[in-house]
Amino acid sequence: MIIAYCPASTGLQRVVLEEGQAIPANACWIDLFTPSKGEQIAAEQLMGAQIPTREEVASIETSARLYDEPGAIVMTALLPMAAENPDPSLSSVIFVLNAKRMVTVRYGEPRSLVIFSKKVQADISIAHTGPALFFAMLDIVVDRCADILEEASARYDKLSLQVFEEGLSSRKTTLYQDAIRAQGRIGLRTAKMHEVCASLSRVTLFLGTHSKKLNLSTDQIDMCKTIGRDIHSIKEHGDALDNNLSFLLDATIGLVTLEQNQIIKIFSVLGVIFLPPTLIASIYGMNFENMPELKWSLGFPFSIVLMGGSIALTFLFFRLKKLL
């Protein structure tokens, strides 16, 4: 499907083209959603650049996804959809950019592009050129990256309170496992955002090296640097969140291990406490003929008192040593 955005008095007008319909010559943004071969060829002829297919993008190394074509530059970047969808092919968006227009090729539905589509249809301040549209879209993508990491940080804070304030009991296996899984999900989302930030960093650097071909203004060149710094700060935020997650995971496992050790310690101490009465019962359980207390009328109460006293003395000893 081809969606063309053409200049209008209120911004850009969104036009969904039918199969075989020609792309308007004044379109400044052409959005290809799961394009057919014919639709892709039409966009290539308009841009003067060959657009890689979905299979080609998957087979190309990451470092080779940014390259120069005669009529445009071609860039493949991961958008924040990668944080929610494990399939990188759905999150990868191909950008074909020249000084006049921008072409996007996508196979998923990144929220950033949905927001950008609504913005360009209502915002008349965005210039109707390829670079201007691309920088406006990058600004939304960076904001979206920041929002995702903020959401991950909020989930981390909630988990921290659960672990350090409410506490996790090893006897409640489901609660303990859910906390570990929640931490793992936050970690996976953060790792995906690292990939997105790395991809966007390469894009901004590549744009800066092709400023003459794209006729970038001084403000747009400065914007490249600004966006690059924003991406770097988001990546640093992700690094800090990764470190915090590692600490929280270690603390969660450590607290549960301490609780389990305390339970084992109690059983060990109880076993030691009952060793003396067990020894006494074993002695008086021997059936030798010449045992002094065997025919003593108070022999049974004496042995019971002796066993009880040994338990009390051993218990007091452990209490004094603060082992119980």
- Tens place of pLDDT for every residue, the chain, 324 residues? 888 888 888 888 888 888 778 888 888 888 888 888 888 888 888 888 888 877 776 666 656 678 888 888 888 888 877 555 555 555 788 888 888 888 888 888 888 888 888 888 888 888 888 888 988 998 888 888 888 888 888 888 888 887 777 666 555 667 777 888 888 888 888 888 888 888 888 888 888 888 888 888 888 888 888 888 988 888 888 888 888 888 888 887 777 777 777 778 778 878 888 888 888 888 888 877 777 777 788 888 888 888 888 888 888 887 887 766
Q: Rounded to whole angstroms, how far apart are CA atoms 162 and 81?
A: 28
Share of the chain above pLDDT 90, in %: 0
* Residue 225 to residue 204: CA distance in whole angstroms: 8
Question: What is the structure's pLDDT at 83?
Answer: 56
The encoded tokens of residue 96 equal 């074909």
Look-up of token digits 């770097």 = 232
On the 0-12 / 13-18 / 19+ scale of CB atoms within 10 A, 276 is: middle
Spatial distance between the Cα atoms of 293 and 299, rounded to a whole number of angstroms: 5
* 71-122: pLDDT as tens digits: 888 888 888 775 555 555 557 888 888 888 888 888 888 888 888 888 888 8
d(CA 272, CA 263): 15
Neighbours of 316 (CB within 10 A): 11
Q: Which amino acid is at 83?
A: A
Strands (E), the chain: 2-8, 11-17, 29-33, 66-68, 73-78, 92-97, 102-106
pTM equals 0.74
Domains, the chain, ordered by start: 2-260 (no CATH), 274-320 (1.20.58)
Which residue, 45, 92, 93, 49, is CA-closest to 73? 49
Looking at residue 173, its pLDDT comes to: 62
